[in-house]
């Protein structure tokens, strides 16, 4: 697989950029519309004791915040045509940039494994509906049909990755609108079966229970913070996508339509469907494959299963598979190619996804998402503070690709020790807010605090050398 299939690390000229607002919209829409994305949104509606309007407002607010955050990091990649691993060299050093790239890669591998499991639930539903078979024996919480489905998805994704970015882009171009069509059809099917009782189910969700230990304000912040953390990996490496966009204006339009607007529509559909499932089945189901399975419509089951599978696989490859494959290749380029990096990624992720049901999910979806987000948050703060406050949006492109000890971004043997110190301080605190009971009330702020502390610490540590960091031209 040629590196050119994914643009490589060299600056991408404006003439080679083909993406507009629609492509960026598709990236976000597919990320939102994955099976995990639905489960997370549905879980937020029923887990925090808030009324439905408050949760919906929190989700939309998170969309606007994420839009603002990626507009900041996306701007530099649109301007210079560089991906995240290269942009990170400004703040971390030409060699030190391997650290955030590898860390981002590790988090992406975790996400890839989990999203692979969720995609496999759609295939399991399809097999059960068409062949009327269900696995009885279980291993690590999954039946034999579940494991077969999981293996099918894992092999399919790896094969698609090896075909190149054009095949993946085709997924993104048609999967997003198709998912909305299926979601609307599922909502109507639930509505027809529930009848007027649906309004009672919606009323109970909108009423809220108010039983969150930290109170309603803390619960609202937790909803916003968890949604931001869900997008953490893409926020960090957003430059890998924005570098393909023709203009900054088109990038911002795609972000607006794909984040707050798409989040609002998708979350509302998830709310109605989840409330309806509570009316029909006596429990609020948060996995759409479980809901489709009980609707008892074979055609809807087949179409929905295939659609959610396609949507989850598409964004999983773009956001969670390609980045770690190239990060691993970047670590040891003489021994690991992008192809080999992809195979290693698939193998590690297969183990992680296989442990989702019996191990990882037991910590809770929100805590899982918040932990991964808290690890990545400081890197975002460092990147933004360095580009806007230290470099003042001026970059020496040639120096980003130079290992000359006298180079602007060489620092100490290619590593910026001040940036590493800033990351350490911020990461310890942001992760602690998720896991230390005494800091529980700050858990909803984990991502925001991590990014803010990381950026502030980096600015303070770099301030003595800020004048030297500015390009002379």
pLDDT of residue 310: 79
Q: How confident is the model at residue 2 (pLDDT cuts 50, 70, 90)?
A: very low
The torsion angles phi and psi of 410, rounded to 5 degrees, stand at -85, -40
Average pLDDT over all residues of the chain:
84
| 49-53, 95-99, 175-179, 368-372 — most confident range | 95-99
pLDDT of residue 465: 67
Q: Which domains does the chain have, with CATH numbers?
A: 17-469 (1.10.4160.10)
Assigned token pair, 83: 């991906």
Q: Which of 91-100, 257-266, 462-471 has the lowest mean pLDDT?
A: 462-471
Two tokens, residue 272: 């109605």
- 119: closest CA among 261, 288, 279, 342? 288
Q: Which residues contact 29 (CB under 8 A, 6 or more apart)?
A: 176, 179, 258, 262, 266
Q: Binning pLDDT at 50, 70 and 90, where does residue 85 land?
A: confident
Is a pLDDT exceeding 50 seen at residue 162? yes
pTM here is 0.82
* pLDDT of the residue at 171: 66
142-143 vs 138-139, strand pairing mode: antiparallel
**pLDDT over threshold 80, residue 137:** no
Q: Is the pLDDT of residue 430 over 90?
A: yes
377 neighbors 66 (Cβ within 8 angstroms): no
**Average pLDDT of the segment spanning 53-69:** 93
- Contact between 91 and 386 (Cβ < 8 Å): yes
pLDDT in tens, 389-420: 999 999 999 999 898 999 999 999 999 999 99
pLDDT (tens digit per residue) in 173-223: 777 677 778 778 878 888 888 888 888 877 776 666 556 666 788 888 888
- Band the pLDDT of 6: cuts 50, 70, 90: very low
Q: What angle do CA 341, 424, 224 make, to 5 degrees?
A: 85
**CA distances (Å), origin 241, targets 24, 70, 115, 246, 382:** 8, 11, 20, 11, 20
Counting Cα atoms < 13 Å in the Cβ hemisphere of 153 gives 37
């Amino acid at each position: 697989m040629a590196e050119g299939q994914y643009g490589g690390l060299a600056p991408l000229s404006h003439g080679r950029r083909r993406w507009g607002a629609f492509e960026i919209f598709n990236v976000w829409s597919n990320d939102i519309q994955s099976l995990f994305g639905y489960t997370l949104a549905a879980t937020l509606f029923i887990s925090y004791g808030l009324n439905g309007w408050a949760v919906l407002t929190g989700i939309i607010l998170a969309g606007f915040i994420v839009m603002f955050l990626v507009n900041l990091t996306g701007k530099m990649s649109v301007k210079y045509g560089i991906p995240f691993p290269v942009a990170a060299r400004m703040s971390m050093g030409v060699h030190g940039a391997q650290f955030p790239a590898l860390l981002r890669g590790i988090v992406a591998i975790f996400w890839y494994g989990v999203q692979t499991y969720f995609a496999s639930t759609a295939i399991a539903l399809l097999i059960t509906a068409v062949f009327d078979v269900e696995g009885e024996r279980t291993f690590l919480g999954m039946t034999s049909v579940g494991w077969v489905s999981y293996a099918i998805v894992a092999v399919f994704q790896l094969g698609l990755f090896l075909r190149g970015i054009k095949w993946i882009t085709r997924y993104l171009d048609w999967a997003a609108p198709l998912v909305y069509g299926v979601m609307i059809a599922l909502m109507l099917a639930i509505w027809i079966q529930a009848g007027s009782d649906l309004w009672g189910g919606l009323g109970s969700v909108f009423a809220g229970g108010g039983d969150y230990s930290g109170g309603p304000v803390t619960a609202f912040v937790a909803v916003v913070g968890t949604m931001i953390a869900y997008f953490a990996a893409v926020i960090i490496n957003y430059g890998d996508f924005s570098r393909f966009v023709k203009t900054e204006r088109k990038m911002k339009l795609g972000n607006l339509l794909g984040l707050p607007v798409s989040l609002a529509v998708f979350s509302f559909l998830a709310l109605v469907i989840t409330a309806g499932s509570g009316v029909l089945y006596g429990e609020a189901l948060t996995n759409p494959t479980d809901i489709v399975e009980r609707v008892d419509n074979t055609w809807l089951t087949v179409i929905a299963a295939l659609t959610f599978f396609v949507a989850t696989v598409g964004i999983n490859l773009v956001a969670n598979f390609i980045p770690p494959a190239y990060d691993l290749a970047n670590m040891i380029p003489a021994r690991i190619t992008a192809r080999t990096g992809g195979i290693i990624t698939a193998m590690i992720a297969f183990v992680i996804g296989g442990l989702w049901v019996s191990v990882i999910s037991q910590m809770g979806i929100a805590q899982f998402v918040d932990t991964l987000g808290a690890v990545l948050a400081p890197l975002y703060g460092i990147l933004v503070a360095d580009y806007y406050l230290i470099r003042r949006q001026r970059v020496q492109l040639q120096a980003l690709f130079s290992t000359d000890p006298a180079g602007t971004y060489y620092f100490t043997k290619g590593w910026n020790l001040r940036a590493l110190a800033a990351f350490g301080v911020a990461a310890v605190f942001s992760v602690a807010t998720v896991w230390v009971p005494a800091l529980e009330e700050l858990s909803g702020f984990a991502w925001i605090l991590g990014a803010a502390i990381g950026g502030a610490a980096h600015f303070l540590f770099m301030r003595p050398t800020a004048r030297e960091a500015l390009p002379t031209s």
